[in-house]
């Protein structure tokens, strides 16, 4: 197994998803595009591909980008639905970062004539409560 495969296979978001202190008190928006997300369909085993668009206004923490890359790549061999993968990523990052606001858009490539986009927005969740 090559070192990158080992890092991805052994990645544990509880201990390996590095967060750093945010040194800035003002509101500013961080936008990250992750164009190579992949996972496996839990029903067929076929690969699913997506572009993840993450946007957040940090409070006390920001995510370290290499750790985020490894976390996202850790889904590639997992059997997980579009909805579950998007919600797991959002919940994990939201819990770790505790941002002022956060939005995740998971834009899955069409397969079988179906195109799925999942949007999760902390401001919408807050309105529902």
Give 39-93 pLDDT, tens digit per residue. 999 999 999 999 999 999 999 999 999 999 999 999 999 999 999 999 999 999 9
Angle at which helix 65-73 crosses helix 82-97, to 10 degrees, equals: 150
Q: What is the CATH number of the domain that holds 57?
A: 3.30.1130.10
Q: Which of 16, 41, 84, 121 is catalytic?
A: 41
Q: What is the pLDDT of residue 77?
A: 95
Say if residues 103 and 55 touch (Cβ distance below 8 Å): yes
Q: Is 41 a catalytic residue?
A: yes
Annotated catalytic residue within 12, 14, 39, 48: 48
What is the extent of the structural domain holding 98?
3-128
- The residue whose two tokens read 């939005």 is 103
Is 70 in contact with 116 (CB distance < 8 Å)?
no
* pLDDT attached to residue 59: 98
* 39: annotated active-site residue: no
Predicted pLDDT at 128:
65
Number of domains in the chain: 1
């Amino acid at each position: 197994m090559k070192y990158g495969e080992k890092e991805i296979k052994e990645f544990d978001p509880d201990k390996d998803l590095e967060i750093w202190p945010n040194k800035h008190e003002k509101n500013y928006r961080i936008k990250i595009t992750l164009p190579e997300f992949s996972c496996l369909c839990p029903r067929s085993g076929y690969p699913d591909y997506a572009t993840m668009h993450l946007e957040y206004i940090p409070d006390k923490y920001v995510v370290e980008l290499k750790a985020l890359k490894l976390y996202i790549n850790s889904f590639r061999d997992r059997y997980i639905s579009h909805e579950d993968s998007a919600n797991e990523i959002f919940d994990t990052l939201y819990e770790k970062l505790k941002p002022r606001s956060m939005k995740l858009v998971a834009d899955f490539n069409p397969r079988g004539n179906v195109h799925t986009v999942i949007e999760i927005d902390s401001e919408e969740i807050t309105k529902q409560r």
